């Protein structure tokens, strides 16, 4: 006897009635987060490779009137820290986890603060990558690169990859429901770690950054 497909299901995973087989649909949807995480990992790797091969230079950077570029990044990273806390708070509110009804404008507010945090983080990451790069081993003056600096650089690269995943999660409507909160949670955690290993350390060592002159 010739082999047949499962009763009521065609070879393409659709039922006789033309509706889609849930199992096949589930696999299709899972492809979105899996591809996004794979692309994010490749982007993080490429950022790291760029950080290794690029010759660090202060040309094309700004200190926005602060004493150094590091001081400026510390101030902007503190703003990012406040914005990401707002992001998590508003996300929990939107998902109904705070037990208070979310107002209609909350989604827009969440998107605006999120986009601002993203742009500011990219601005800082550009300054890190361009003027310092991914430091490993010893610096050009022979001083050893601290574990904190190395960990910060690696996390910084992962942040860029996580941003790619988050943008895909926000844009894709066919992905599973867990994808957006997981992508947001991963990005939040990495950003917090990047800020703890840089701005928080800097403020602990040098105090709050001062303006130049």
In the complex, the smallest distance separating the C-beta of residue 36 from ligand HEM, rounded to whole angstroms, is: 19
What span, in angstroms and rounded, lies between the C-alpha atoms of 154 and 131? Answer: 16
Distance from C-alpha of 161 to C-alpha of 186, rounded to nearest angstrom: 10
Rule CB under 6 A: say whether 43 interacts with ligand HEM. no
Alpha-carbon gap, residue 165 to 181, rounded angstroms: 11
The verdict on 84 binding ligand HEM (CB under 6 A) reads no
Closest separation in Å from C-beta 168 to ligand HEM? 19
Cβ of residue 179: shortest distance to ligand HEM, in angstroms?
22
Binding of ligand HEM by 199 (CB under 6 A) = yes
Helices (H), the chain: 22-53, 69-94, 106-131, 147-171, 179-195, 201-206
Q: From the CB of 22, what's the least distance to ligand HEM, in Å?
A: 40
Axis crossing angle, helix 179-195 with helix 22-53, rounded to the nearest 10 = 20
Please give the residues from 129 up to 158 whose contact with ligand HEM meets the rule CB under 6 A: 129, 132, 134-135, 149, 152-153, 156-157
Instruction: Give the dihedral of Cα atoms 166, 167, 168, 172; nearest 10 deg.
Output: 110
118 lies in the site for ligand HEM, by CB under 6 A: no
With contacts defined by CB under 6 A, name the span among 14-22, 28-36, 69-77, 94-102 that binds ligand HEM. Answer: 69-77
24/26 Cα distance (integer angstroms): 5
Nearer Cβ to ligand HEM, position 32 or 47?
47
**Which of 84, 93, 115, 116 lies closest to 192 in space, CA to CA?**
84
113 binds ligand HEM (CB under 6 A): no
Is residue 140 helix, strand or coil? coil
| Contact criterion met (CB below 8 Å) for 144 and 138 | yes
The one segment of 1-9, 21-29, 71-79, 165-173 that binds ligand HEM by CB under 6 A: 71-79
Q: What is the contact surface with ligand HEM in residues (CB under 6 A)?
A: 47, 51, 70, 73-74, 77, 80, 121, 124-125, 128-129, 132, 134-135, 149, 152-153, 156-157, 159-160, 191, 194-195, 198-199, 201-202
């Amino acid at each position: 006897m010739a082999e047949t497909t499962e009763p009521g299901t065609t070879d393409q995973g659709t039922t006789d009635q033309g509706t889609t087989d849930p199992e096949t649909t589930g696999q299709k949807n899972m492809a979105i987060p899996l591809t996004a995480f794979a692309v994010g990992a490749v982007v993080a790797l490429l950022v790291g490779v760029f950080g290794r091969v690029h010759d660090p230079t202060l040309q094309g950077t700004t200190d926005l009137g602060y004493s150094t570029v590091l001081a400026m990044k510390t101030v902007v990273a503190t703003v990012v820290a406040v914005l990401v806390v707002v992001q998590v708070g508003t996300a929990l509110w939107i998902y109904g986890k705070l037990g208070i009804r979310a107002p209609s404008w909350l989604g827009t507010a969440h998107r605006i603060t999120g986009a601002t945090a993203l742009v500011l983080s990219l601005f800082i990451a550009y300054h890190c990558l361009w003027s310092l790069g991914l430091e490993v081993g010893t610096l050009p003056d022979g001083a050893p690169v601290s574990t904190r600096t190395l960990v910060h650089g690696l996390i910084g690269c992962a942040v860029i990859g996580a941003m790619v995943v988050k943008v895909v999660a926000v844009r894709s409507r066919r992905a599973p429901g867990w994808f957006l909160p997981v992508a947001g949670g991963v990005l939040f955690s990495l950003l917090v770690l990047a800020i703890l290993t840089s701005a928080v350390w800097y403020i602990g060592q040098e105090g709050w950054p001062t303006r130049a002159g």
